[in-house]
Amino acid sequence: MSLETDVSRILQIITDQTEAVSRTPGGQDDRLHDAQTLVFKCVQHATSTLILFRGVEIDDFGFKTHYQDLFSVLGLARMCHEAYLMFSHVFVAPPTPEEASFRFLAWRYADFRRQAKLRVRRRLAPPDAQVESWRAEIMRAARRLRPLLRANPVFARLNKRDQNDLLNRLRWPLRGWSTLGKEAGFTDLQAIQIYRYLCSYAHPGNLSVRQARLASEARELGHLATTGLKHTGILLACLAVDYVRVFPLARVVLEKDPDRRRLVDYYADFARGNY
Protein backbone atom coordinates (compact mmCIF):
# COMPACT_ATOMS: atom_id res chain seq x y z
CA MET A 1 0.00 0.00 0.00
CA SER A 2 0.99 3.64 -0.44
CA LEU A 3 2.26 5.91 2.31
CA GLU A 4 -0.87 8.05 2.02
CA THR A 5 -3.09 5.00 2.48
CA ASP A 6 -1.10 3.84 5.50
CA VAL A 7 -1.36 7.23 7.21
CA SER A 8 -5.08 7.34 6.47
CA ARG A 9 -5.55 3.87 7.96
CA ILE A 10 -3.66 4.75 11.14
CA LEU A 11 -5.77 7.89 11.50
CA GLN A 12 -8.86 5.70 11.29
CA ILE A 13 -7.42 3.37 13.94
CA ILE A 14 -6.96 6.25 16.38
CA THR A 15 -10.45 7.54 15.57
CA ASP A 16 -11.87 4.11 16.39
CA GLN A 17 -9.85 4.05 19.62
CA THR A 18 -11.21 7.40 20.77
CA GLU A 19 -14.75 6.34 19.88
CA ALA A 20 -14.33 3.14 21.91
CA VAL A 21 -13.42 5.26 24.92
CA SER A 22 -16.06 7.97 24.37
CA ARG A 23 -18.84 5.34 24.29
CA THR A 24 -18.02 4.53 27.92
CA PRO A 25 -20.25 6.45 30.35
CA GLY A 26 -18.69 9.31 32.38
CA GLY A 27 -16.24 9.18 35.22
CA GLN A 28 -13.28 10.88 33.52
CA ASP A 29 -11.43 13.53 35.46
CA ASP A 30 -9.90 16.70 34.01
CA ARG A 31 -6.60 14.95 33.46
CA LEU A 32 -8.11 12.34 31.15
CA HIS A 33 -10.26 14.90 29.38
CA ASP A 34 -7.14 16.94 28.64
CA ALA A 35 -5.33 13.80 27.46
CA GLN A 36 -8.17 13.02 25.08
CA THR A 37 -8.24 16.56 23.73
CA LEU A 38 -4.48 16.56 23.18
CA VAL A 39 -4.92 13.40 21.12
CA PHE A 40 -7.60 15.14 19.04
CA LYS A 41 -5.19 18.04 18.50
CA CYS A 42 -2.47 15.68 17.24
CA VAL A 43 -4.97 13.92 14.96
CA GLN A 44 -6.15 17.25 13.51
CA HIS A 45 -2.56 18.26 12.69
CA ALA A 46 -1.97 14.87 11.08
CA THR A 47 -5.20 15.02 9.06
CA SER A 48 -4.28 18.46 7.72
CA THR A 49 -0.82 17.14 6.85
CA LEU A 50 -2.36 14.34 4.78
CA ILE A 51 -4.87 16.63 3.06
CA LEU A 52 -2.25 19.20 2.09
CA PHE A 53 0.10 16.46 0.87
CA ARG A 54 -2.62 15.03 -1.38
CA GLY A 55 -3.78 18.45 -2.49
CA VAL A 56 -7.27 19.87 -2.90
CA GLU A 57 -9.28 21.29 -5.77
CA ILE A 58 -9.97 25.01 -5.29
CA ASP A 59 -11.95 27.55 -7.28
CA ASP A 60 -11.27 30.80 -5.44
CA PHE A 61 -9.26 32.81 -7.96
CA GLY A 62 -11.51 32.77 -10.98
CA PHE A 63 -10.20 29.42 -12.18
CA LYS A 64 -10.02 25.85 -10.92
CA THR A 65 -6.70 24.41 -9.86
CA HIS A 66 -5.24 21.52 -7.89
CA TYR A 67 -3.51 23.02 -4.86
CA GLN A 68 -0.76 21.29 -2.89
CA ASP A 69 0.82 23.05 0.10
CA LEU A 70 3.92 20.90 0.43
CA PHE A 71 5.83 23.44 2.52
CA SER A 72 3.14 23.45 5.21
CA VAL A 73 3.22 19.64 5.33
CA LEU A 74 6.58 19.86 7.08
CA GLY A 75 5.46 22.61 9.45
CA LEU A 76 2.35 20.63 10.42
CA ALA A 77 4.44 17.51 10.92
CA ARG A 78 6.46 19.44 13.48
CA MET A 79 3.24 20.46 15.30
CA CYS A 80 2.14 16.83 15.31
CA HIS A 81 5.56 15.83 16.65
CA GLU A 82 5.33 18.22 19.60
CA ALA A 83 1.70 17.33 20.38
CA TYR A 84 2.58 13.63 20.53
CA LEU A 85 5.65 14.24 22.70
CA MET A 86 3.63 16.32 25.17
CA PHE A 87 1.04 13.53 25.37
CA SER A 88 3.81 11.03 26.01
CA HIS A 89 5.64 13.24 28.52
CA VAL A 90 2.60 14.16 30.61
CA PHE A 91 0.41 11.06 30.36
CA VAL A 92 2.55 8.06 29.39
CA ALA A 93 6.18 8.42 30.48
CA PRO A 94 5.86 9.40 34.19
CA PRO A 95 7.27 6.50 36.24
CA THR A 96 5.29 7.28 39.42
CA PRO A 97 1.90 8.82 40.34
CA GLU A 98 3.73 11.76 41.94
CA GLU A 99 5.64 12.43 38.71
CA ALA A 100 2.43 12.14 36.68
CA SER A 101 0.69 14.63 38.97
CA PHE A 102 3.63 17.04 38.83
CA ARG A 103 3.84 17.04 35.04
CA PHE A 104 0.12 17.59 34.63
CA LEU A 105 0.07 20.42 37.18
CA ALA A 106 3.15 22.06 35.65
CA TRP A 107 1.73 21.79 32.13
CA ARG A 108 -1.48 23.49 33.23
CA TYR A 109 0.09 26.09 35.48
CA ALA A 110 2.64 27.40 32.96
CA ASP A 111 0.08 27.71 30.18
CA PHE A 112 -2.55 29.34 32.39
CA ARG A 113 -0.02 31.95 33.49
CA ARG A 114 1.11 32.61 29.91
CA GLN A 115 -2.49 33.13 28.78
CA ALA A 116 -3.28 35.43 31.69
CA LYS A 117 -0.29 37.63 30.79
CA LEU A 118 -1.61 38.34 27.28
CA ARG A 119 -2.82 41.93 26.97
CA VAL A 120 -4.41 43.95 24.19
CA ARG A 121 -3.09 47.49 23.86
CA ARG A 122 -5.83 49.90 24.79
CA ARG A 123 -5.12 52.17 21.86
CA LEU A 124 -5.80 49.25 19.50
CA ALA A 125 -8.96 48.02 21.20
CA PRO A 126 -11.11 49.31 24.07
CA PRO A 127 -11.14 47.33 27.33
CA ASP A 128 -13.44 44.34 26.99
CA ALA A 129 -15.17 43.29 30.21
CA GLN A 130 -15.59 39.74 28.97
CA VAL A 131 -11.91 39.40 28.08
CA GLU A 132 -10.83 40.88 31.41
CA SER A 133 -13.15 38.51 33.25
CA TRP A 134 -11.69 35.58 31.34
CA ARG A 135 -8.14 36.66 32.14
CA ALA A 136 -8.99 37.05 35.81
CA GLU A 137 -10.48 33.55 35.94
CA ILE A 138 -7.41 32.05 34.24
CA MET A 139 -5.16 33.83 36.76
CA ARG A 140 -7.24 32.54 39.68
CA ALA A 141 -6.92 29.02 38.28
CA ALA A 142 -3.13 29.43 38.06
CA ARG A 143 -3.00 30.67 41.66
CA ARG A 144 -4.94 27.61 42.81
CA LEU A 145 -2.40 25.37 41.07
CA ARG A 146 0.67 27.07 42.53
CA PRO A 147 0.40 25.64 46.10
CA LEU A 148 -0.40 22.20 44.65
CA LEU A 149 2.82 22.37 42.64
CA ARG A 150 4.84 23.49 45.66
CA ALA A 151 3.46 20.60 47.73
CA ASN A 152 4.36 18.01 45.11
CA PRO A 153 7.43 15.92 46.14
CA VAL A 154 8.80 15.95 42.58
CA PHE A 155 8.76 19.76 42.56
CA ALA A 156 10.48 19.77 45.95
CA ARG A 157 13.36 17.72 44.50
CA LEU A 158 13.97 20.18 41.65
CA ASN A 159 16.90 22.54 42.01
CA LYS A 160 16.09 26.17 42.80
CA ARG A 161 16.72 27.29 39.24
CA ASP A 162 14.21 24.84 37.76
CA GLN A 163 11.66 25.72 40.43
CA ASN A 164 12.00 29.41 39.60
CA ASP A 165 11.94 28.74 35.86
CA LEU A 166 8.65 26.93 36.21
CA LEU A 167 6.90 29.16 38.75
CA ASN A 168 8.04 32.57 37.55
CA ARG A 169 9.57 32.27 34.09
CA LEU A 170 6.86 29.78 33.03
CA ARG A 171 9.32 27.50 31.27
CA TRP A 172 7.63 24.25 30.39
CA PRO A 173 8.61 21.61 29.54
CA LEU A 174 11.72 21.89 31.69
CA ARG A 175 13.70 19.85 29.18
CA GLY A 176 14.07 20.34 25.42
CA TRP A 177 12.01 18.60 22.76
CA SER A 178 14.92 16.36 21.79
CA THR A 179 15.14 15.11 25.38
CA LEU A 180 11.40 14.44 25.38
CA GLY A 181 11.83 12.51 22.15
CA LYS A 182 14.49 10.30 23.71
CA GLU A 183 12.22 9.80 26.73
CA ALA A 184 9.48 8.59 24.37
CA GLY A 185 11.88 5.97 22.99
CA PHE A 186 12.82 7.70 19.75
CA THR A 187 16.19 7.15 18.13
CA ASP A 188 18.53 10.11 17.61
CA LEU A 189 17.34 10.20 14.00
CA GLN A 190 13.72 10.84 15.01
CA ALA A 191 14.29 12.77 18.24
CA ILE A 192 16.99 15.13 17.01
CA GLN A 193 17.73 15.08 13.28
CA ILE A 194 14.22 14.78 11.85
CA TYR A 195 12.90 17.24 14.42
CA ARG A 196 15.54 19.83 13.49
CA TYR A 197 14.72 19.29 9.83
CA LEU A 198 11.02 19.95 10.49
CA CYS A 199 11.83 23.03 12.60
CA SER A 200 13.88 24.47 9.75
CA TYR A 201 10.76 24.39 7.57
CA ALA A 202 8.42 25.61 10.33
CA HIS A 203 10.78 28.59 10.73
CA PRO A 204 12.42 30.48 7.84
CA GLY A 205 15.67 28.54 7.96
CA ASN A 206 18.00 29.39 5.08
CA LEU A 207 18.83 25.77 4.30
CA SER A 208 15.13 24.94 4.01
CA VAL A 209 14.66 27.86 1.62
CA ARG A 210 17.56 26.70 -0.57
CA GLN A 211 16.34 23.09 -0.51
CA ALA A 212 12.83 24.19 -1.45
CA ARG A 213 14.11 26.35 -4.32
CA LEU A 214 16.29 23.60 -5.75
CA ALA A 215 13.54 21.01 -5.34
CA SER A 216 11.03 23.33 -6.99
CA GLU A 217 13.32 23.86 -9.95
CA ALA A 218 13.77 20.09 -10.28
CA ARG A 219 10.03 19.46 -9.65
CA GLU A 220 10.90 17.33 -6.63
CA LEU A 221 9.05 19.18 -3.88
CA GLY A 222 7.01 16.06 -3.25
CA HIS A 223 10.14 14.20 -2.13
CA LEU A 224 10.79 16.80 0.58
CA ALA A 225 7.19 16.65 1.78
CA THR A 226 7.23 12.85 1.87
CA THR A 227 9.61 13.04 4.84
CA GLY A 228 7.00 15.02 6.76
CA LEU A 229 4.17 12.63 5.88
CA LYS A 230 6.16 9.52 6.77
CA HIS A 231 7.21 11.02 10.09
CA THR A 232 3.55 11.85 10.73
CA GLY A 233 2.68 8.19 10.15
CA ILE A 234 5.37 7.16 12.64
CA LEU A 235 4.03 9.61 15.24
CA LEU A 236 0.47 8.39 14.76
CA ALA A 237 1.55 4.77 15.18
CA CYS A 238 3.32 5.63 18.44
CA LEU A 239 0.22 7.49 19.55
CA ALA A 240 -1.99 4.49 18.80
CA VAL A 241 0.27 2.30 20.97
CA ASP A 242 0.50 4.82 23.82
CA TYR A 243 -3.20 5.66 23.73
CA VAL A 244 -3.98 2.19 25.04
CA ARG A 245 -1.69 2.77 28.02
CA VAL A 246 -3.74 5.79 29.07
CA PHE A 247 -7.13 4.44 27.95
CA PRO A 248 -7.08 0.62 28.32
CA LEU A 249 -10.61 0.31 26.92
CA ALA A 250 -9.21 1.18 23.49
CA ARG A 251 -7.13 -2.02 23.46
CA VAL A 252 -9.87 -3.93 21.64
CA VAL A 253 -9.38 -1.87 18.45
CA LEU A 254 -5.95 -3.42 17.78
CA GLU A 255 -6.58 -6.76 19.48
CA LYS A 256 -9.46 -7.71 17.20
CA ASP A 257 -7.63 -6.91 13.94
CA PRO A 258 -4.12 -8.39 13.45
CA ASP A 259 -3.63 -6.46 10.21
CA ARG A 260 -4.12 -3.17 12.02
CA ARG A 261 -1.74 -4.28 14.75
CA ARG A 262 0.95 -5.14 12.19
CA LEU A 263 0.54 -1.77 10.44
CA VAL A 264 0.89 0.17 13.71
CA ASP A 265 3.87 -1.91 14.84
CA TYR A 266 5.57 -1.47 11.46
CA TYR A 267 5.53 2.33 11.70
CA ALA A 268 6.12 2.53 15.46
CA ASP A 269 9.25 0.40 15.05
CA PHE A 270 10.80 3.15 12.91
CA ALA A 271 10.72 5.51 15.89
CA ARG A 272 12.49 2.97 18.08
CA GLY A 273 15.05 1.92 15.48
CA ASN A 274 13.60 -1.60 15.11
CA TYR A 275 13.82 -1.90 11.34
Q: Which amino acid is at 88?
A: S
Q: What is the pLDDT of residues 33-86, one digit of tens each?
A: 999 999 999 999 999 999 999 988 888 777 888 888 888 899 999 999 999 999
Distance CA 206, CA 208 (A): 5
Could you read off the pLDDT of 186-226 as tens digits, one per residue?
999 999 999 998 998 888 888 778 877 887 765 677 788 89
Whole-angstrom CA distances from 34 to 4, 28, 37, 39 are 29, 10, 5, 9
- Report which of 155, 54, 65, 139 is spatially closest to residue 104, judged by C-alpha positions: 155
CA distance 112 to 79: 20
Q: Domain extents for the chain?
A: 1-93+184-275, 95-176
Contact 45, 137 (CB under 8 A): no
pLDDT tens readout for residues 106-141:
999 998 888 877 665 555 555 667 777 878 888 888
Could you tell me which residues come within 8 angstroms of residue 231 by beta carbon, excluding any fewer than 6 positions away? 77, 81, 190, 194, 198
What are the b/e assignments for 186-219, b being 16+ CB within 10 Å?
bbeebbbebbebbbbbbeeeeebeebbeebeeee
What's the first-to-final CA gap in the chain, in angstroms?
18
Report the predicted TM-score, pTM, of the whole model to 2 decimal places: 0.89
Distances (CA, A) of 217 to 133, 202, 210, 213: 53, 21, 11, 6
